[in-house]
């Protein structure tokens, strides 16, 4: 035995209840069941057992619903039992269709009541009365109903007829049956047939219609109908409850006409839902969204608008939203909005929108036209995004840009920006405009138009190249010709052409910065020129000029150096010029040079340098430092001047002094000797006869030596006079022939070994210093005597030279003079070197003086000579008178 409920009874209770139930059933013939609170059979009458074919079957304690394989397991029956048990209210004459074996379903009127027991559990009494079979009229009615049913089944609506105050289903068409899921309803009350609607208000409605006779129209009324065990379906119905009346006009039923509009309602609801969801989405978008109609009236604003502006729906719709826009921006915003609508074109505008608290913030409004699926214009949809921070940043960037432009404008470095292919001058600061020699009107014009003079110069091409390749161009000291003040002027500039790129890396222009270096380039050019001039000058200089860097390494040698050494610059640089210094001076020089390098002091030194023939030549070497402004050494310039001649002259001077002392010594010694002799003789005069004493020759010798000494001294004096330019001429007119003769006589007086002849063709008078001319003749003759040790003949000639000139020549047949010495012998102290064994006294000043004297008379000295054959010296003077 299976207990349907856990509400277990004790054995004792069970016995009491069973006994009690049996007592009830034994006396009643009608079909009756006694059930406990668990709906288990306590007892059943025979009538019940007969009716439901349960004779001989033990059923005590079985659940009523298990009887005859669930014959009574009817949901409505179960509900009814539970209802009675719960409420205690009895059910009378409730119709149930119960399936009977072989007979099919039969209708029973069932009564259920609760029998309260004082001691134990309550019990339920359930009686069954089989309902009568249909009468004839019932059958007719059934026919009518069938026809009615047939007709109704064709209508698209669900139709049924409910009979009686309990609303028993009398007729229902197919659509109605379908609506209820084809359940068994006919003969059942609404409550029984569709118990799920009992708490949905329909029965109350039916009751109301039945009671009042007023039809009821339901619209899209929701109903929950059971489709399966625990499954309910939501349906929406449009229905009419129309009361029906019997022949007496009394309401006897209700005609229900139902149209299932679930699909439409659900479709509409789906649309509404999707719209709602869309709005929810729109509301969730972190932006303000607005929607307008074709007339330019805002019909929808999402939640964000209201929370942002604090406006309400009424004030913001239409054009009310404009009120929240900053007064300064309102007009423009309105214009854009209406224009966008008119042209059905999207637009974007920034404006200040007032926040709830009155603060204005920048927003960006972007709108676009809205079209339906058929392409019809529906209005606009737009979004508003708060761009306040960005705008501020943008303003800041613009401000920075502005400031930057200001800086560029103020900058002293010439700056310009060119944009686009035509290289339009977008920006050019004052410095650049000044550099171009133009005015501000060039800004905004293409570069080639602003500076047409650039045509033919490489710059436009260079700029184009920068645009094409993106490679910066660096101009260094580039020469630019610009039209400044109506004149083409050349300048030199260091500049850059730098590509400018946008945020996507695309080149949109060029930044040009330039510095005028004209001055430095010009000075460099000048420097180069002066360097060139220096070299030229250095080459022209008689000395050997060289340049060394601050470390003393030779970097330049002038032509004289190259000529002198026979080497080229490279060789000289390699070896340095110091290698040419004579070993005797080299060490000293290098020591001094090192000193110079470290101290920066200049130096001067005499040294010998070896020439290309290997001969050492005396030079005066001077090294001088060229210094920077700060005093540091920049380079060295060395000049080596040949002083060989000076050196030789010095040497000759030394020799001269040696000779002077020697020459003076001889006459003085001699004079001294004769004077002593004369003194001795005078002493002896007292003792001997004076006449026998050799006084005359002694005095003659003294005289001769004194003459020599006098001449020597006057020559030295003349020398210094000439040096001091104090040699004065005492000019007078005299007979030259006479002077020559007198001179020869004088010489002959002291010189007896040589034969001096004189030959003259005429008598010549000259205007001259007689003594000085005499001095010249003496010098010529004395030399002729001195340098002709092996020959005695000396020939003097006085001959006319042209019309008004006279030549006096002195010819000897002595040692002669080599041609190389023709000129040199007229120099001071110059004496032709002779072999050691042949010494000739003299100082080398006689011919020098003679030459000076004749030159001062505007005359000329000439020499004809051949080494070993003799010489002929002559001078020519102007004559004042010539007579034969």
Q: Which is nearer to ligand ADP, 627 or 866 (CB)?
A: 866
The distance of closest approach from Cβ of residue 716 to ligand ADP in the complex, given in angstroms and rounded to an integer, is 12
Q: Which is nearer to ligand ADP, 564 or 848 (CB)?
A: 848
Q: Which is nearer to ligand ADP, 110 or 784 (CB)?
A: 784
Ramachandran quadrant class, 208 (left: phi over 0; alpha: psi -120 to 50; beta: rest): alpha
Under a CB-based contact definition with an 8 Å cutoff, are residues 293 and 299 in contact? yes
Q: Which is nearer to ligand ADP, 561 or 873 (CB)?
A: 873
Under a CB-based contact definition with an 8 Å cutoff, are residues 64 and 84 in contact? no
| Contact residues for 6 (Cβ-Cβ < 8 A; gap 6+) | none
The number of beta carbons lying within 10 Å of the beta carbon of residue 413 is 13
Look at the alpha carbons of 180, 183, 187, 192 in this order and tell me if their dihedral is positive or negative.
negative
DSSP for 425-454, please give it: EEEE-HHHHHHHT--GGGTTSBHHHH-GGG
Distance CA 167, CA 161 (A): 8
Q: Does 167 sit near ligand ADP (CB under 6 A)?
A: no
The distance of closest approach from Cβ of residue 673 to ligand ADP in the complex, given in angstroms and rounded to an integer, is 24
The distance of closest approach from Cβ of residue 712 to ligand ADP in the complex, given in angstroms and rounded to an integer, is 9
Q: Which is nearer to ligand ADP, 290 or 848 (CB)?
A: 848
The distance of closest approach from Cβ of residue 720 to ligand ADP in the complex, given in angstroms and rounded to an integer, is 16
Q: In what order do the strands lie in the sheet with 544-549?
A: 554-557, 544-549, 633-642, 616-627, 603-610
Q: Which stretch in 123-131, 228-236, 700-708, 824-832 sits in contact with ligand ADP by CB under 6 A?
A: 824-832
Task: Build a one-symbol-per-residue string for 648-687: x at contacts with ligand ADP by CB under 6 A, - elsewhere.
Answer: ----------------------------------------
Looking at residues 80 to 119 of the shown chain, list those that interact with ligand ADP (rule: CB under 6 A). none
Q: Does 63 sit near ligand ADP (CB under 6 A)?
A: no
| Structure letter (DSSP) for residue 278 | H
Q: Which is nearer to ligand ADP, 59 or 825 (CB)?
A: 825
Record the tokens describing residue 29, joined without a space.
């013939």
Distance CA 198, CA 167 (A): 12
The distance of closest approach from Cβ of residue 530 to ligand ADP in the complex, given in angstroms and rounded to an integer, is 48
DSSP for 792-821, please give it: -EEEEEEEEETTTEEEEEEEE-SS---GGG
The distance of closest approach from Cβ of residue 816 to ligand ADP in the complex, given in angstroms and rounded to an integer, is 6
Q: Which stretch in 232-240, 276-284, 694-702, 810-818 sits in contact with ligand ADP by CB under 6 A?
A: 810-818
The distance of closest approach from Cβ of residue 786 to ligand ADP in the complex, given in angstroms and rounded to an integer, is 6
Q: Does 192 sit near ligand ADP (CB under 6 A)?
A: no
Under a CB-based contact definition with an 8 Å cutoff, are residues 18 and 60 in contact? yes
The distance of closest approach from Cβ of residue 862 to ligand ADP in the complex, given in angstroms and rounded to an integer, is 13
At 312 the three-state DSSP class reads: coil
CB contact burial 261-276 (16+ within 10 A = b; e otherwise): bbeebeeeeeeeeeee
Distance CA 709, CA 728 (A): 22
Site size for ligand ADP (CB under 6 A): 21
Task: Build a one-symbol-per-residue string for 843-862: x at contacts with ligand ADP by CB under 6 A, - elsewhere.
Answer: xxxxxx--------------
The distance of closest approach from Cβ of residue 824 to ligand ADP in the complex, given in angstroms and rounded to an integer, is 9
Strands (E), 830-880: 860-866, 870-878
| Separation in Å, CA 690 to CA 17, 672, 673, 703 | 227, 21, 19, 21
Candidate residues 84, 719, 815, 877; the one interacting with ligand ADP per rule CB under 6 A: 815
Q: Which is nearer to ligand ADP, 220 or 655 (CB)?
A: 655
The distance of closest approach from Cβ of residue 789 to ligand ADP in the complex, given in angstroms and rounded to an integer, is 10
Q: Which stretch in 501-509, 580-588, 606-614, 808-816 sits in contact with ligand ADP by CB under 6 A?
A: 808-816
Q: Does 589 sit near ligand ADP (CB under 6 A)?
A: no
At 507 the three-state DSSP class reads: strand
Q: Which is nearer to ligand ADP, 617 or 817 (CB)?
A: 817
Candidate residues 66, 257, 831, 857; the one interacting with ligand ADP per rule CB under 6 A: 831
Candidate residues 812, 813, 853, 876; the one interacting with ligand ADP per rule CB under 6 A: 812
Closest CA to 13 of 21, 5, 3: 21
Q: Which is nearer to ligand ADP, 129 or 786 (CB)?
A: 786
Looking at residues 490 to 549 of the shown chain, list those that interact with ligand ADP (rule: CB under 6 A). none
Task: Build a one-symbol-per-residue string for 756-795: x at contacts with ligand ADP by CB under 6 A, - elsewhere.
Answer: -----------------------x---xx-xx--------
Q: Which stretch in 61-69, 487-495, 693-701, 841-849 sits in contact with ligand ADP by CB under 6 A?
A: 841-849
| Contact residues for 845 (Cβ-Cβ < 8 A; gap 6+) | 656, 715, 716, 719, 828, 829
Record the tokens describing residue 412, joined without a space.
């002293």
* Residues comprising the chain, all counted: 884
Distance CA 3, CA 834 (A): 176
Q: Which residue is nearest to ligand ADP (CB)?
A: 842
Torsion from C-alpha of 681, 684, 690, 692, nearest 10 degrees:
-70
The distance of closest approach from Cβ of residue 615 to ligand ADP in the complex, given in angstroms and rounded to an integer, is 24
Q: Which is nearer to ligand ADP, 867 or 882 (CB)?
A: 867
Q: Which is nearer to ligand ADP, 253 or 846 (CB)?
A: 846
Under a CB-based contact definition with an 8 Å cutoff, are residues 605 and 588 in contact? yes
Distance CA 223, CA 96 (A): 25
Q: Which stretch in 95-103, 218-226, 400-408, 825-833 sits in contact with ligand ADP by CB under 6 A?
A: 825-833
- Cα 87 → chain centroid: 94
Q: Which stretch in 91-99, 622-630, 672-680, 813-821 sits in contact with ligand ADP by CB under 6 A?
A: 813-821
Q: Which residues bind ligand ADP (CB under 6 A)?
A: 779, 783-784, 786-787, 812, 814-817, 825, 831-832, 842-848, 871
């Amino acid at each position: 035995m299976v207990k349907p409920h856990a509400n277990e009874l004790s054995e004792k209770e069970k016995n009491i209840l069973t006994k009690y139930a049996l007592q009830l059933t034994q006396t009643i013939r009608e079909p009756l069941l006694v059930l406990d609170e668990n709906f288990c059979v306590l007892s059943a009458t025979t009538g019940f057992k007969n009716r439901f074919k349960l004779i001989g079957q033990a059923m005590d304690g079985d659940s009523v619903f298990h009887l005859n394989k669930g014959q009574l397991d009817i949901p409505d029956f179960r509900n009814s039992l539970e209802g009675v048990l719960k409420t205690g209210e009895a059910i009378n004459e409730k119709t149930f269709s119960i399936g009977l074996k072989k007979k099919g379903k039969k209708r029973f009127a069932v009564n259920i009541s609760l029998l309260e027991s004082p001691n134990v559990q309550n019990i339920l009494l359930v009686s069954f009365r089989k309902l009568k079979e249909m009468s004839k009229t019932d059958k007719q009615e059934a026919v009518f109903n069938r026809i009615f049913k047939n007709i109704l089944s064709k209508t698209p609506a669900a139709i049924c007829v409910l009979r009686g105050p309990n609303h028993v289903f009398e007729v229902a068409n197919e659509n109605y049956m379908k609506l209820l899921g084809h359940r068994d309803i006919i003969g059942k009350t609404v409550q029984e047939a569709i118990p799920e609607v009992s708490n949905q208000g329909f029965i109350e409605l039916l009751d109301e219609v039945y009671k009042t006779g007023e039809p009821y129209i339901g619209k899209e009324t929701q109903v929950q109908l059971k489709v399966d065990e625990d499954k309910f379906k939501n349906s929406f119905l449009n229905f009419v409850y129309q009361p029906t009346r019997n022949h007496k006009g009394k309401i006897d039923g209700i005609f229900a006409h139902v149209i299932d509009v679930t699909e439409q309602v659900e479709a509409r609801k789906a649309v509404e839902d999707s719209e709602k969801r869309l709005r929810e989405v729109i509301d969730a978008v972190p932006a303000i969204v607005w929607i307008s109609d074709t007339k330019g009236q805002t019909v929808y604003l999402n939640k964000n608008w209201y929370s942002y502006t604090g406006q309400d729906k009424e004030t913001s719709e239409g054009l009310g939203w404009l009120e929240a826009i900053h007064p300064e921006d309102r007009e423009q915003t309105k214009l854009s909005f209406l224009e966008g609508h008119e042209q059905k074109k999207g637009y974007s505008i920034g404006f200040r929108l007032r926040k709830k608290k009155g603060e204005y913030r920048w927003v960006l409004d972007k709108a676009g036209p809205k079209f339906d699926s058929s392409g019809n214009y529906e209005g606009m949809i737009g979004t508003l995004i708060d761009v306040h921070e960005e705008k501020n940043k943008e303003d800041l960037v613009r401000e920075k840009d502005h400031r930057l432009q200001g800086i560029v404008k103020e900058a002293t470095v010439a700056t310009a920006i060119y944009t686009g292919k035509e290289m339009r001058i977008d920006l050019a600061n004052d410095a650049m405009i000044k550099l171009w020699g133009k005015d501000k009107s060039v800004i905004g014009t293409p570069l080639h138009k602003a500076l047409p003079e650039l045509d033919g110069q490489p710059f436009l091409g260079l700029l184009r190249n920068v645009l094409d390749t993106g490679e910066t161009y660096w101009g260094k000291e580039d020469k630019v010709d610009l039209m400044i003040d109506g004149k083409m002027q050349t300048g030199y500039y260091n500049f850059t052409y730098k590509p400018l790129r946008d945020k996507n890396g695309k080149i949109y222009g060029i930044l040009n910065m330039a510095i005028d270096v004209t001055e430095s380039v010009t000075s460099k050019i000048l420097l180069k020129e002066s360097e060139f001039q220096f070299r030229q000058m250095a080459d022209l200089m008689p000395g050997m000029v060289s340049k060394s860097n601050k470390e003393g390494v030779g970097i330049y040698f002038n032509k004289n150096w190259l000529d002198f050494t026979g080497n080229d610059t490279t060789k000289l640089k390699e070896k340095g010029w110091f290698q040419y210094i004579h070993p005797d001076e080299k060490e000293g020089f290098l020591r001094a040079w090192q000193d110079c390098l470290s101290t920066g002091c200049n130096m001067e030194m005499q040294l010998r340098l070896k020439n290309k023939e290997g001969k050492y030549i005396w030079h005066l070497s001077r090294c001088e430092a060229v210094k920077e402004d700060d005093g540091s050494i920049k380079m060295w310039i060395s000049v080596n001047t040949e002083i060989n001649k000076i050196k030789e002259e010095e040497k000759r001077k030394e020799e001269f002094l040696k000779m002077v002392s020697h020459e003076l010594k001889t006459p003085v010694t001699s004079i001294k000797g004769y004077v002593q002799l004369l003194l001795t003789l005078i002493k002896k005069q007292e003792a001997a006869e004076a006449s026998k004493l050799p006084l005359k020759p002694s005095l003659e010798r003294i005289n001769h030596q004194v003459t020599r000494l006098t001449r020597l001294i006057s020559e030295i004096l003349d020398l210094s006079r000439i040096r001091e330019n104090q040699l004065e001429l005492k000019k007078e007119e005299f007979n030259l022939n006479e002077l020559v003769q007198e001179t020869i006589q004088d010489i002959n007086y002291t010189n007896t070994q040589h034969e001096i002849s004189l030959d003259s063709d005429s008598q010549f008078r000259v205007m001259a210093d007689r003594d000085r001319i005499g001095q010249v003749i003496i010098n010529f003759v004395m030399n002729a005597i001195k340098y002709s040790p092996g020959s005695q003949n000396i020939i003097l000639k006085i001959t006319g030279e042209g019309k008004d000139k006279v030549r006096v020549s002195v010819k000897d047949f002595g040692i002669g003079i080599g041609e190389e010495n023709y000129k040199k012998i007229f120099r001071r102290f110059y004496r032709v070197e002779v072999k050691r064994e042949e010494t000739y006294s003299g100082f080398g000043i006689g011919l020098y003086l003679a030459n000076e004297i004749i030159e001062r008379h505007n005359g000329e000295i000439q020499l004809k000579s051949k080494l070993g054959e003799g010489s002929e010296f002559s001078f020519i003077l102007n004559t004042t008178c010539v007579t034969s």
